[in-house]
Structure 1
Amino acid sequence: MTNPRIALVTGANQGIGFAFAEGLAARLAPSDLVLFTGRNPQRVADAVTRVAGARSRVEGRVLDVTDVGAVERLAAELREEYGGVDIVISNAVGPLSAERTQAEQADEFIDVANGGTHAVLRSFGPVLRPSGRLIVVASSLGTLGHLDPRVQPLFDGASLDDVEKVVESWRAAIHEDTVEEQGWPRWINVPSKVAQVAAVRAVAAQRREQDLRDGTLVASVCPGLVDTRASRPWFEDFSQAQTPAQAAGPVLDLVLASHVDPAAYGELVRFGVVLPWHSGTPSRYAGVTAR
């Protein structure tokens, strides 16, 4: 008898995070469990009640990804209760308002997007069962070529510890107003997304051989332009934007595929296609944010 699969999505109370979790609940088996997580208890509870068409079991769990201890405890609880997890989608993202400077919002944004990614990778990687999926939602902006050549080497071939140190150095440059002097773009979404992808690559490099033997996938994904409340302030043309459910589809296809393509392992994937790590053009634009 096959053990029930355990799936977890961070930032699952709204937008594409909700679509990921709802889509998993619709596609997994009745014995499987999908955990909707977020930091606001009421929003998590409300999200679970909104789920439509679920085949699997669904539950809400409160989780603030900026609380490293909380992430560690939940991973340990799931290992104790279920023997581990099978699917983890790290989707939580910090708010970014058009009404405030990016420097004013940098700490919360970085703590959620980058600190949260690091915490999930560190805590859930060790409890991921064979044939599991550990996915970080990033962006096509996460390729190394989007950074100035002066700072690109900081992420290329970096360990997870290295990535964390670079993120903190970049954070300090934001507060010291030396980002442009050091080669960082003022648009904080770019270094943040590159750091997320670099963190995934770092973890994947350590696990690759065993994971590919086990049929396990560690990767980052770009869902494309999604029409959500968070993206609305930053774009004028949404004619090509997807609904959260539409954007979730290709990501869930990757997550639930029976075969792991070695070419996608550790890489950034958009609509089933690997985006080369060194691709992209350096950007200093500070006017928009996107996934």
Structure 2
Amino acid sequence: MTAARIALVTGANQGLGFALVAGLAARLGPDDLVLLTGRDPRRVADAAAEVAAAEGTRSRVEGRVLDVSDADAVARTAAELGERHGGVDIVVSNAIAPLTPDRPQSAQADQFIDVANGGTHAVLRSFTPILRPGGRLVVVASSLGTLGRLDPSLHPLFDGASLDEVAAVVESWRAAVHDGTAARQGWPRWINVPSKVAQVAAVRAVAAQRRERDLAEGTLIAAVCPGMVDTRASRPWFDDYSQAQTPEQAARAVLDLILADRVDPASYGELVRFGQVLPWHGGTPARYQDDLLIP
């Protein structure tokens, strides 16, 4: 990586994103810049000021308003950073929209998909071209993002798909959620599962086109599963949080992957949890009862 590094984290006002910004700011150098991004200007400014003033912060921290569901806004931000700094070194796509069990999934699908999937696609399209040699681009997903979590009839839709094809599948699935045919087509009831699979598929699609060059330059593109994290977004879905991590604890393994001196080729383009690759075809189709995941 370059001596003065540029890092950007999406969805960083709170929770894991905030912890990732704080961790980067503590572990990068005084010449480096960490951009904390989110949709709400006041929350972005307050969060960036909190990290900048925290004990242990070493690098520069700035807030930047960015709605990842707006692909044009993502493209403009990437173009600006490319022009001003010559590229970026670390990008973490972490933004997610809230999903709660007290409302129909179809009523929440558009915002959730626009942020989680549209945002992932926009970040991949706009930031991989300006990722400097030796850089890191990481998409925060989950262990639900392995292909085996879907019914086998759906596997061909994602397996080996290009980024454009993944985006098209997401839109077809979104339409099925709205017209009530998703279950008949084999899609799980909980929209988080297809969304996570599509995120990982998008990472794999981009990585497949860049693998040889990126590995030669020490560059990493990957998806990560941070494990169960106790956050405002996850609390409505689970009763037992005795094994959950704090955002700060969950950020450590992600930061270790991002800041590792060398890239493990086995991790490139894959879904990584606590340093271990989760096999793309692994896992079993999720089962549901009353909209809650049954492991």
TM-score by length of 1: 0.98
Shift of 1:289: 7.1
Q: Partners of 2:100 and 2:113 in 1: how far apart?
A: 14
Partners of 1:289 and 1:194 in 2: how far apart?
Answer: 15
**One-letter code of the match for 2:30?**
P
Aligned partners of 1:142 and 1:197 also within 8 Å: yes
2:15 is aligned to 15
Q: Distance in 1 between matches of 2:116 and 2:292?
A: 16
Cα contact 1:40–1:62 (8 A) shared by 2: yes
Secondary structure of the 2:171 match is helix
Partner residue, 2:27: 27
Task: Encode CA deviations 1:144-163: one digit per residue, 9 max, x unaligned.
Answer: 00000111110000000000
| Cα separation, 1, equivalents of 2:21 and 2:101 | 28
SS of alignment partner, residue 137 of structure 2: strand
Asked if the contact 1:234–1:287 (Cα under 8 Å) also holds between the matched residues in 2, the reply is no
Instruction: Kindly state the Cα deviation for residue 99 of structure 1 after the two structures are TM-superposed.
Output: 1.7
Could you tell me how far 1:288 is from its partner in structure 2?
Answer: 3.7
Determine which of 129, 135, 139 is the counterpart of 1:136.
Answer: 139
Return the match for 1:66 from 44, 69, 76.
69
Q: What's the secondary structure of 2:267's corresponding residue?
A: coil
> Quick one: structure 1 residues 142 and 42, their matched pair in 2 at CA, closer, same or farther if it must change by over 3 Å?
same
Deviation at 1:231, TM superposition (A): 0.9
RMSD: 1.3
Cα distance in 1 for residues equivalent to 2:156 and 2:97: 26
Secondary structure (helix, strand or coil) at the match of 1:236 reads coil
CA contact (8 A) 2:189 2:291 kept: no
1:258 partner SS: coil
After the TM superposition, which of the residue ranges 277-286 and 21-30 deviates more from structure 2? 277-286
**Is 1:200 aligned to residue 203 of structure 2?**
yes
User: Identity percentage over the alignment?
Assistant: 75
- Match among 256, 280, 284 for residue 281 of structure 1: 284
What runs of 5+ residues in structure 1 fail to find an aligned partner?
none
The amino acid of 2:20's aligned partner reads F
Is 2:103 the counterpart of 1:81? no
The CA distance in 2 between the partners of 1:98 and 1:182, in whole Å, is 22
- Look up the SS of the partner of 1:179 in the other structure: coil
Residue 127 of structure 1 corresponds to: 130
1:178 match: secondary structure: coil
Correspondence 1:232 to 2:235: yes
CA distance in 2, matches of 1:69, 1:147: 31
What stretches of structure 1 move > 6 A for 4+ residues in a row? none
Amino acid at match of 1:140: S
Count, aligned residues: 290
Within 1, Cα distance between the matches of 2:101 and 2:164?
32
Q: How far apart, in 2, do the equivalents of 1:88 and 1:178 lie?
A: 36
The reply to whether residue 43 of structure 1 matches residue 47 of structure 2 is no
CA distance in 1, matches of 2:293, 2:67: 22
Q: Secondary structure at the match of 1:181?
A: coil
1:265 corresponds in structure 2 to: 268
Conserved in 2, the CA contact under 8 Å of 1:224 and 1:247?
yes
**Residues 1:248 and 2:251 aligned together:** yes
